[in-house]
Structure 1
Amino acid sequence: MPAERLFRRQLERATRPDGSIDLDQLRQLVVAWYEDSARDRERTDRAITLMAEELEGANRRLEALVENLRVQNLRFEAALDNMLQGLCLYDRADQLVVVNRRYHEILGLPPGLLQPGISHAEQLSIEQAAGLHAGRDLQEMLEARIALVDAQDGPARAEIFTEDRRRLDVAAQRLPTGGCVVTVMDVTAERAAEARAAAAGRLTSLGEMAAGLAHELKQPLTAIALAAANARRAAERGDTAAALVRLGRIADQAARGGVLIDHLRRFARGGEGADANATADVAAAVDGALTLMGGALREASIELALALSPSLPRVRGDGMALEQVLLNLLANARDALASSRGGPGGRIAITACQTLEGPVVLEVTDDGGGIPASVMDRLFQPFVTTKGPDRGTGLGLSICHGLITSLGGRIEAENGAEGAVFRITLEPAPG
């Protein structure tokens, strides 16, 4: 043992050459050894005490850190559960890491049904088993979801309808870490409010165009009256051929008036109903807007220039909404021309083409001097207008912005060489 070996060494040091033991020296050696041992024990005790205190402090700091993490986690969970959007967060392997309560509520799923660790395919399967996506092919839905998540140009968005006709806005984006985040928001009420605002805007537009529309209807009615009088005289003469020609003109003019009235009816009513897969014909929308606005432009002696590419593809969205936007832009251009000139005259140009990148660009320009710099940055905000208090509500361009956004496009304004330029960019319809 170490103590026994140490004692033997001390004993050897106290042994005289003749083999006798120097007891005084042995006593001094033993006392010194004992004092050294006592000091070593004291240093050891102090070291142990310091280590215990450090361990206790580290334990307290660790407990505080754990508590802080627990509080932060509760705050994070509370923030997630109180979001307006439903949220799903996935890791690099596209497995679910976090799903909030709002996601379950929006989709009508039982609380806690989706648990971390499942894949996109497993999630869709669980949702379908819970009553969602009835009748839809799981593989097709999975491919659509992955395509949405893997969109190359930043966040991707899509609007879908549920079986109970609610409208959901779905957004997805890859994260720098390799995972992805998907959010879902119920926009049924927002879209209904936008539809009401758009309907009010359509009726306002019709009211502002009343004089021009009356002129458009008066022309065929005048022609009908004249042709009827001529047909009567021809009949009285017994000239059946001339009477038939006049009757044919009456039929043509009646058809012309019918087309205008039917278009008025459809425009006032709007689309037949929200459809996330609706597509629109740009040329038809331009033609429809000019059907309603053409008379007002002619009365104002405004020259109209059209340059529409003959190979325009159909675009995403509702054609009547696009027509309403064009109608509003044409009315604004007419008013801007009248204000800048103090009377009739001016030029409006409508151009449309498909870019090499794919989107369709539709532009409405005028030579009315442009948009004042004071309102350019706020042009699409509600109640912003350059007209006097007796004209307009300041909601037209705000409604236009909402309609174009709902079509999945964007609308921008700038000043060109002679006047305002409104540029609408729309995505081509699939296929």
Structure 2
Amino acid sequence: MLRSLLRANQWQLIAAYCLHAVRSLFNLSSDASVSEGRPKYLMTDLVPHWKVGFEAFNDIRHYIYTGMTKASPPEVSTCVDDACTHDACPPAINYAIELMYASAAFKMTALCSVYEDSLVMFVDYAPVEDVIPVLVAAFHCQLNQLRSYCIQRIARSNLDNVCLEKEIPDELSSEIKSLRVKSNQESEANTNEVDPLREKTVRRIHKALDTDDFELLNLLLKEYKVTLDDAYALHYAAAYCNPNFFVEVLNMGLADLNLKDARGRTVLHVAARRKEPAVMVTLLSKGAYASETTSDGQTAVAICRRMTRQKDYVEATKQGQETNKDRLCIDVLEREMRRNSVSENLAMSSEVMDDDFQRKLEYLENRVACVRLFPSEARVAMEMAGADTTTGLSVLGRKGLSRNLKEVDLNETPSMQATSRQLRLLTLLKTVHSWALKGTRNLKKM
């Protein structure tokens, strides 16, 4: 009994010591300093490869107190996409990475293993783009099993070499490429031959984009038979380049901004993952289709919502500060989607209105078919109705206008066509009404 009490007290002392140590180390303020003779450290110094937030600190502290993990806070581990089940959305993955980095940094092996197992499950369901940060985390934390699992998943995917080289350490990128070469050799796959000169030119174009070298970009496009579309230059610039330079490239007018890359993504889809408002606004103003979907059915706004944590979306904007980019990007895309929806509804309403006009005009024209035989009577009737007789008679005199209502006159804008139809309907209505007041004397003579 005494031994068990001593052991319990010993564990309480160890827990208290660990908590005291963690409290002295975890300082979420921006300035490292010495307070009361004890040094304080920045979390960015302790965990240099990832940002560890206050929620993750609380989860680590809870584990130290109780020896158990708890459910992740939804505000930092779930996205704002209502259609998402949050099984493997980016916020869920990123929060698990955050906890894994923190537990690995403080040598909490058991806890690190828990989050490693969680990330293994995420890798099975997540889009391949979201596996990249998991692989990088496994690399930095020296978790070989998770690292190998991620490499296998990426090697089997259609993730292009440009993405591998830009977002993954060289050691890992080379390993993935080697696996792909080996897999192709074993399966004797017929791969398309790559033109070395063309490939070299594409890389030079990407290099010019990286360095914001507009002159070099123009020179390469003139010297070699490679276009911006061939190099997926807008996709590349939207993902990796300075937003101002992206606008310059877009303003050249030499690329199709709705072109889909080998993975079925438009430039707007790529920009949605980066969440850069300036890039999105420019694309939309130039005619990018917000309703366009990826090969797996995702629109740009769905991608953006799935990339955004609830905490970042509902974060209140302080007076005098800009709205956070997460919320701003979603708002911009949703406004564009609503605008497109209104335009589609108007187009549908226009079709319905055309049918309605057709029926009304046929009915009224049948009633005033004799107007062309009695123009003087028509003039009097219209004057009584207060209609413009000159315009009205010319409109009434157009044979077969209602029959050809849905034909398009290339010399007229939609608004002009709508005005013409309204005028014709109004003229017919006024004429019929006026004649009704006169008793339709001339119609009875026929």
TM range (shorter): under 0.3
Output the TM-score relative to the length of structure 1. Answer: 0.19
Specify which structure has the higher proportion of helix.
2
Output the TM-score relative to the length of structure 2. Answer: 0.19
Specify which structure has the higher proportion of strand.
1
Q: Which has the larger radius of gyration?
A: 1
